[in-house]
Structure 1
Amino acid sequence: MSVNVFRLAYVDFFSKDPAHMVEYYSEIMGYRITEEQNGITYLSNGYDHHNIVITPSDKQAIRSYGYQLDGGLSLDEVQEKLIATGIESRIQEDVKPGVSRFIELNDPSGNTIELFTEINQPAVGFSGLGINPLKLGHVAFLANNYEETITFYHDVLGFTFTDKIGENFANFLTCNTDHHVINIIAANDTRLHHIAFQVKDASHQYAASDLLAKHEIPIIWGPSRHTAGSNIATYHRDPEDNVVELYTDMDVFVPELGIFEPRPWHTEMPYKPKVWEGLSVWGTEFQLDLAKI
């Protein structure tokens, strides 16, 4: 039995300005604060104890990504498999509220990831304030050795490749039926490219853009329909300049068939993973400079 991740559960930010970040994620994004411990704030918008974590720091970066395993193997068995493949890891206990036990390790590009089977689910629900996305959907990150990193997520953690943009640019992988849960971008260093949240539909996306405008937070790109994933997306920046995507209409992957569920905007039937030339079906020019992310 292999190690199988089935969802991205949380992202933990190192923050130089935690008060401003907590204000953004609670009042603009609409997440509820579930716990504050040792200066660290945990926020949720559904079942889980947390989906966003804000950790005070003298640096601005991603502290860790939290992925839930399918439970087919115990954490001890997962660690044995990691050791067998030469991957160093540590089992952590009672160091993070909501997740009493997890495996901490680094992927080949240097990201810290936390693998767990169980997370407390107080079911805090949706606040009704701010944007209130349906869920944390995916992350995209630049990777300094992207080929080895892609292999790690595919071979070790059970992700499936879906699409690419260019031969050596963006690489999309999923661990469930979403078109992608991670997007690995070839680069000379490793850092977050963007974090993405699913909204209900186009009207929810328009309302979100209006709310951002009310708070003088500009949309930096979009709305536009992506090629890979077909999602309609807009992008803005949080208080520490992390790029945040709000999306809807993402393709649904059927792994047993290796195709995506049919949609009216698909140009081919069946719709299969492919290599794309650009980012936008609508031809919207992408202005975001990767060097400045």
Structure 2
Amino acid sequence: MSNVKVFRLAYADFFSQEPKKMVDYYTTTLGYRIMEEQDGITYLSNGVDHHNIVIRPGNQKGIRSYGYQLDGKLSLEEVQAQLHSQGIDSTLIVDGKPGVSRYLELHDPAGNTVELFTVMAQPVIGYGTTGILPLKLGHIAFYAKNFVETVEFYSDVLGFTFTDKIGEAFCNFLTCNHEHHVLNIVSSDETRLHHIAYQLRDAGHQYASSDILAKQGLNVLWGPSRHTAGHNIATYHHDSDGNVVELYTEMDVYISELDIFEPRPWHQELPLKPRKWEGLSSWGTEFEVDLAKI
């Protein structure tokens, strides 16, 4: 068992064929602030971190890499040695990203580029004053080839914990902290982003976010509805590049010591433990867009 432990998803690094439109989406619609621009790459933040979103020009769209912060109990050199002992190659990158002076770059079994770091600069750029203004980047969902091996990688190598699944071998939810899920891995014959998710304050914030989307000409694809796994109330829309974005609130809180979720009035069984679900919506709501086919 590895002693390597991730404790949060810190950033997502995007390729974009139209980076100016993506930057405009993140600044105007979501309300993120530009931290810095370097070599055509834009680094955006909505709190204390140097960046939570990176947008870079490319001949493709979608995710370039995901950044996860480690608990710091091991140095990056010690982490690299542990990875090597498990047959996992990684490269120590120095001064490869503003705000993150050192990180390990590696690939999960699905082919995603993963960046592991212990320290990020915190210039405290603060929240914006217009736009949706999510509390934070909450989780990533991605389609994964080598589904079983990918789930095992995040569990056995990076210290994630299983919390729920939809179907027997279709979709697994994993967490590295108290939130129901930080990763949502969907079985597929290809690897690509399914959606990126941002936490909102409450239901009122969610209603207001849909109004802002409408003013920006961005249609809500699915929701609002309460999910089964995680019980978060969620809506989904497309960003300017066509990536699916989830805005959610009321995510289940996982108590690892008890292997249960904090009780909520809408839980149909108490105590609620990690389990298998058969559908997406606990309200039984039918929508025109099936998220499993995005």
Give yes or no for TM over 0.5: yes
1:80 aligns with 2:65: no
C-alpha distance in 1, partners of 2:180/2:137? 14
How far apart are residue 285 of structure 1 and its match?
1.9
Of the structure 1 ranges 150-159 and 55-64, higher mean CA displacement relative to structure 2 is found in: 55-64
Partner of 1:279: 280
Structure 1 residue aligned with 2:35: 34
User: Structure 2: where are the runs of 5+ without partners?
Assistant: none
Give the structure 1 partner of residue 68 of structure 2: 67
What residue number does 1:268 align with?
A: 269
RMSD: 1.0
Q: Which residue of 2 is the match for residue 6 of structure 1? A: 7
Contact 1:47-1:124 within 8 A present in 2 as well: yes
CA 1:190–1:208 in structure 2 vs 1: closer, same or farther (change >3 Å)?
same
Using the size of structure 2 for normalisation, the TM-score is 0.98
Amino acid in the other structure paired with 1:43: L
Distance 2:287 2:192 in 1: 20
Partner Cα separation in structure 1 for residue 238 and residue 291 of structure 2? 14
Alignment partner of 2:220: what SS? coil
1:226-265 counterparts in 2 under 5 A? 226-265=227-266
Instruction: Tell me, in whole angstroms, the C-alpha distance in 2 between the residues paired with 1:291 and 1:209.
Output: 22
- Residues paired across the two proteins, number: 293
Distance 1:242 1:275 in 2: 27
Give the corresponding residue for 1:172: 173
1:110-125 matches, cutoff 5 A? 110-125=111-126
Q: How far did residue 291 of structure 1 move?
A: 7.8
Q: Distance in 2 between matches of 1:76 and 1:7?
A: 20
Indicate the residue corresponding to 2:214 in structure 1. 213
**Per-residue deviation at 1:292?**
6.0
Distance 1:136 1:49 in 2: 13
Q: Deviations over 1:14-36 (max 9, x none)?
A: 00000000000011000000000
| Post-superposition offset of 1:81 | 0.2
For the 8 Å contact 1:279–1:286, the answer to whether it is kept is no
The Cα shift of 1:288 comes to 3.2
**Counterpart mapping for 1:90-105 below 5 A:** 90-105=91-106
> CA separation in 1, counterparts of 2:288 and 2:67?
30
Residues 261-285 of structure 1, C-alpha deviation per residue, up to 9 Å, x if partnerless? Answer: 0111111111111000100001112
SS in 2 for 1:207: helix
Q: Which blocks of at least 5 consecutive residues in structure 1 are unaligned? A: none
Percent identity of equivalent pairs:
67
